[in-house]
A and B are shown apart, each in its own frame.
Chain A
Amino acid sequence: MTIRRFALAALASTLIAGPALAEQTLLNVSYDPTRELYVEFNQAFTKYWKEQGNEPVTIQQSHGGSGKQARAVIDGLRADVVTLALAGDIDELHSLGKLIPEDWQSRLPDSSTPYTSTIVFLVRKGNPKNIKDWDDLVREDVSVITPNPKTSGGARWNFLAAWAYAEQQYGSEEKAKEFVEKLYKNVPVLDTGARGSTITFVNNKIGDVLLAWENEAFLALKEEGGDNLEIVAPSLSILAEPPVTVVDKNVERKGTRKLAEAYLNYLYSPEGQRIAAKNFYRPRDKSVAAEFSEQFPDLKLVTIDEHFGGWKVAQPKFFGDGGVFDQIYQAH
């Protein structure tokens, strides 16, 4: 079917049916940096969905801090699908909201994570402080910008990446704790979210290095044209896996299960994977990953499940009340 015929058909159907036909809508509740990704993906999906001979669909997006978004859904925001920064936040949809089954993460391939990212360093152009790896971040003359892991999903990945590096390099948990403690002594500002930290670093020009999502770092580079900033990939980082799921209770109430499932499955299709890669998320699909191999530096990546025993273990241990992060600051 050509696009023109398609557009005509779409026009005709709106003219005939008019506003009387309730168009199906789908609400995707997501976290902050995926804004650009889902704008593009939604366009592609609406087109694909109609081509499959379905009613046209309107997709709404909502963005915000991952934890806040999860809370909004628990408190009654009628999300059909959630696409959040970490599995820990989606787990709460089960344990606090009873909106999804406990085994939600095994329902889609790759632990329900169609795309991944990692944590990289963003430094000033020319890398004046010569920052190459994690060890440089604990030097006394280096000032590091990262958000507060208590309020930011991205900041938790930053923290764990530093921890994983120190543990491998220096061999023990105590050494790792000393390392991150030194690192956080170099942090002059703890913003509440990733975008806040980016503003502090890029616009207010505070600090020598920003710990950032790889996709955020690329986006910042793209937006300012690469005149003032450059990306440094550390020797080891963490595989950040932002998962997706259908919100069962909501799709059952709204009768949108088929649509919601198709939406998430499309993320795994070559087209969906390509859109993710174009928006600087690492695709899971091997052949699409090969197409974009030049874009993403080859990194040694540890995973949360293998290295930390999953979010259920890591969250309370590191970021809960009295956890490692609190201890670092009480010791000061």
Chain B
Amino acid sequence: MSRRTSPVIPGFGLTLGYTLVYLSLLVLIPLAAMFIHAAQLTWEQFWNIISAPRVLAALKLSFGTALAAALLNGLIGTLLAWVLVRYSFPGRKIIEAMIDLPFALPTAVAGIALTALYAPNGPIGQLAGMIGLKIAYTPLGITLALTFVTLPFVVRTLQPVLADIPKEVEEAAACLGAKPLQVFRYVLLPALLPAWLTGFALAFARGVGEYGSVIFIAGNMPMKTEILPLLIMVKLDQYDYHGATAIGVLMLVVAFVLLLLINLLQRRISTAST
């Protein structure tokens, strides 16, 4: 006879069942459909599609700019979270609310607004042009759009963690003779790093798949500023469903591996710090 130990908290069967159905309908089935579609290609066809120079150039661009944007937000986002949690100043609540705006705004609106500002004839683009810097229609512009869209992730994941670290801990470290940098390095950083990595990973993943805001500022020149999601749209517009799913699968696999690595890293850090 099977031995069943019932968990302390009731409702396990129901909630797990619910979770599985929910995940299947929303995530697993659509993704599986994509894999099935792509599976109709032979390995050789699949390889030819994903190893085309244009696809590889777009792959580098999409992951490179997403990484740059996530890193940038990792730095600035930490600073923002720090300021919002540790200091109180007039207008803090307004800034706090502004952080979430990039999520609420339709991404196309963000893209058009950024392009208008940073295009060679736009107010900021003109200034940048004076020092010989071209922003819109270059990878720099794409990074800018992605930074905007993924801004809330790092801030929002760090805020609660920062708020949970009592000020006294820092003061104690200072009393024991730690310099400000040492306090940051040995007291704050280990506590923040897991949450920081989560925010970073979220920002990165979101940036890789972003389409709406990038498409206006990218310029979409083949081999130069063409992102992977655009190549998928291009394939679809040629009624090449298989080609489109092949690129989709490629993106998914690369993103999954990277996210898995980040998760593993995160776990090692958490176990090391406890």
A interface residues with partner B (beta carbon < 8 Å): 65, 67-68, 71, 92, 96, 148, 150-151, 188-192, 196, 199-200, 203-206, 319-321, 326, 329-330, 332
Q: Give min CB distance, B82 to chain A, whole Å.
A: 36
Within 8 A of A (CB), among B60-117: 112, 115-116
Q: How far apart are the CA atoms of A332 and B226 in the complex, in Å?
A: 15
Q: Give min CB distance, A65 to chain B, whole Å.
A: 7
| Chain A proximity mask over B33-54: 1 for CB below 8 Å, otherwise 0 | 0000000000000000000011
Q: How far apart are the CA atoms of A295 and B230 in the complex, in Å?
A: 38
Q: How far apart are the CA atoms of A151 and B221 in the complex, in Å?
A: 13
Are A206 and B120 touching (Cβ within 8 A)?
yes
Given known contacts A204-B116, A330-B223, what 7 new A-B pairs fall within 8 Å (CB)?
A: A150-B238, A189-B221, A192-B220, A203-B116, A204-B121, A330-B53, A330-B54
Are B220 and A96 touching (Cβ within 8 A)?
no
Q: What residue in chain B is nearest A332 (Cβ atoms)?
A: B223
Are A190 and B121 touching (Cβ within 8 A)?
no
A-B contact count (CB 8 A): 68
Q: How far apart are the CA atoms of A71 and B236 in the complex, in Å?
A: 8
| Chain A proximity mask over B214-229: 1 for CB below 8 Å, otherwise 0 | 0110011111000000
Within 8 A of A (CB), among B223-263: 223, 230, 233-234, 236-240, 243
13 CB-based A-B contacts, threshold 8 Å: A67-B238, A92-B239, A96-B239, A148-B220, A150-B238, A151-B234, A191-B215, A192-B215, A204-B116, A204-B119, A206-B119, A320-B238, A329-B221
User: Which residues of chain B come closer than 8 Å to A96, judged between CB atoms?
Assistant: 239
B interface residues with partner A (beta carbon < 8 Å): 53-54, 112, 115-116, 119-122, 137, 215-216, 219-223, 230, 233-234, 236-240, 243
- CB-contact partner of A67 in B120, B221, B223, B237, under 8 A: B237
Are A204 and B115 touching (Cβ within 8 A)?
yes
Mostly, the A contact residues are loop
Q: Give min CB distance, A189 to chain B, whole Å.
A: 4
Q: Give min CB distance, B236 to chain A, whole Å.
A: 7
User: Which residues of chain A come closer than 8 Å to B233, judged between CB atoms?
Assistant: 151, 192
Are B223 and A321 touching (Cβ within 8 A)?
no
Are B219 and A189 touching (Cβ within 8 A)?
yes
User: Which residues of chain A come closer than 8 Å to B122, judged between CB atoms?
Assistant: 204
Q: What residue in chain A is nearest B115 (Cβ atoms)?
A: A204
Q: How far apart are the CA atoms of A326 and B115 in the complex, in Å?
A: 26
User: Which residues of chain B come closer than 8 Å to A189, judged between CB atoms?
Assistant: 137, 219-221
Known contacts A188-B137, A204-B122; A68/B237 CB under 8 A = yes
Q: What residue in chain A is nearest B222 (Cβ atoms)?
A: A329
Q: How far apart are the CA atoms of A188 and B195 in the complex, in Å?
A: 41
Q: How far apart are the CA atoms of A321 and B238 in the complex, in Å?
A: 9
User: Which residues of chain A come closer than 8 Å to B116, judged between CB atoms?
Assistant: 203-204
Q: Give min CB distance, A123 to chain B, whole Å.
A: 16
Q: Give min CB distance, A205 to chain B, whole Å.
A: 5
Q: Give min CB distance, A219 to chain B, whole Å.
A: 19
User: Which residues of chain A come closer than 8 Å to B243, judged between CB atoms?
Assistant: 321
User: Which residues of chain A come closer than 8 Å to B221, judged between CB atoms?
Assistant: 189-190, 329
Are A206 and B237 touching (Cβ within 8 A)?
no
Q: How far apart are the CA atoms of A244 and B9 in the complex, in Å?
A: 63
Q: What residue in chain B is nearest A320 (Cβ atoms)?
A: B238
